[in-house]
Amino acid sequence: MRRPLHLRLIGVAAAAALMLSACGGGGIKDNTTSGSGKSCGTFNIAVNPWTGYVADAYVVGVVAQEKLGCTVNYKNVKEEVGWQGMSSGTIDTILENWGHADLVKKYVTDQKTVEDAGMTGNEGIIGWYVPPWMAQKYPDITNWKNLNKYASMFKTSESGGKGQLLDGDPSYVTNDEALVKNLNLDYQVVVGGSEAALIQSFRSAEKNKTPLLAYFYEPQWFFSEMKLVRVHLPKYTPGCDADAAKVACDYPPYHLNKLISTKFADSGSPAVTLVKQFHWTNDDQNEVAEYIAKDGMKPEDAAKKWIDANPDLVNQWLQGT
């Protein structure tokens, strides 16, 4: 899938595009070298370990490959490793950044090896959730002040005699250890290991009516399958999380953004413009993520399905490339 297109196929695609233009037809433009005539070359996209990010990466990657002629490499890395890769020049972009003020200072402000590439359009939410059956049976459990009352229900073999708070991949953005300590909660954070593990835990808890308190987030396709109920922590106010060790408030809303390496930004690649102009909604991302996670589609096929159904939006991303 990453081979350069044969010149004859490029000619056929160009002729087809001209025919569509002459007939007044519409579709996603095909710029195998970009409208500016610049070659794309190699385009290295970081892929972080959650399905929503995979949706971002493959939609942008497929557009870059098929419309700009890029040779796309998908780099499966944790969040911080992706930043390191951009700084060293081995990764060109992170397409969904969840804050990381420390990394922004290090790589954007101080080293100037990474640049902000604008908002994705996605709104991120992190929080603690319980399965629907628990909120129905214990309606006051959604207030953090009542969590200690129910702590014994959440005990597991891994929680050391305390209630279990299940987290996801250890690389995810989390304040949970500090929250448990600073809110004086009788709970132990236990790492579940992955997004898939969190989802399966919620499915099992709802099916078997077993207690579960877990870290989760949006955008997230799984909410279309199960209406998880959020536990309300002390209200977030600007600056309440400034000291990571003293955090005692809920997570902030995240206006998710994109990042590019300075080396990539200065390369003249048309993919730089594509990344900067890539912008969609939580619903868009969730649709592609559901194709992948629930319908079992390959990420590339899921991306193509969404791209084919949304030519006008994709053409907006390609303007000026």
Q: Tell which wins on pLDDT, 17 or 112.
A: 112
Same domain? 237 vs 291: no
Structural domain boundaries enclosing 69 = 7-22+29-121+256-318
Domain of 93: which CATH number? 3.40.190.10
Residue-wise DSSP of 64-133: HHHHH--EEEEEE--HHHHHHHHHHTS--EEEEE---HHHIIIIIIIS--EEEEEEEEEEEEEEEEE-HH
Within-domain flag for 110: yes
Within-domain flag for 2: no
Same domain? 230 vs 183: yes
Q: What is the pLDDT of residue 173?
A: 87
pTM listed for this prediction:
0.85
Same domain? 148 vs 190: yes
Q: Which pair of tokens denotes residue 60?
A: 């942008």
Out of 189, 211, 246, a domain closes at 246
Q: What is the pLDDT of residues 51-97, one digit of tens each?
A: 999 999 999 999 999 999 999 999 999 999 999 999 999 999 999 99
Tell me what the mean pLDDT of segment 139-155 comes to.
Answer: 98
The percentage of residues in the chain with a pLDDT greater than 70, rounded to a whole number, is: 88
For residues 274 and 318, the answer to whether their CB atoms sit within 8 Å is: yes
Within-domain flag for 296: yes
Q: What is the pLDDT of residues 149-170, one digit of tens each?
A: 999 999 999 999 999 999 998 8
Same domain? 216 vs 306: no
The CA distance from 221 to 302, in Å, is 14
Residue at 272: amino acid letter: V
Within-domain flag for 310: yes
Q: In the predicted model, what is the mean pLDDT of the chain?
A: 90
Q: What is the pLDDT of residue 37?
A: 65
Q: What is the pLDDT of residue 188?
A: 97
Out of 187, 219, 246, a domain closes at 246
Tell me what the mean pLDDT of segment 223-232 comes to.
Answer: 97
Q: What is the pLDDT of residue 47?
A: 97
Same domain? 148 vs 109: no
Contact partners, residue 77, CB within 8 Å, separation at least 6: 46, 47, 48, 85, 91
Same domain? 116 vs 143: no
Q: What is the pLDDT of residues 287-297, one digit of tens each?
A: 999 999 999 99
Within-domain flag for 17: yes
Phi-psi region of 24 (alpha: psi -120 to 50; beta: other; left: phi over 0): left
Within-domain flag for 1: no
Say how many domains are in the chain: 2
For residues 229 and 135, the answer to whether their CB atoms sit within 8 Å is: yes
Same domain? 143 vs 114: no
* Beta-strand runs (E) in the chain: 42-47, 71-76, 93-97, 114-130, 163-167, 187-191, 214-218, 229-231, 254-261
Q: What is the pLDDT of residues 159-198, one digit of tens each?
A: 999 999 999 988 898 999 999 999 999 999 999 889 999 9
Out of 246, 266, 296, a domain closes at 246
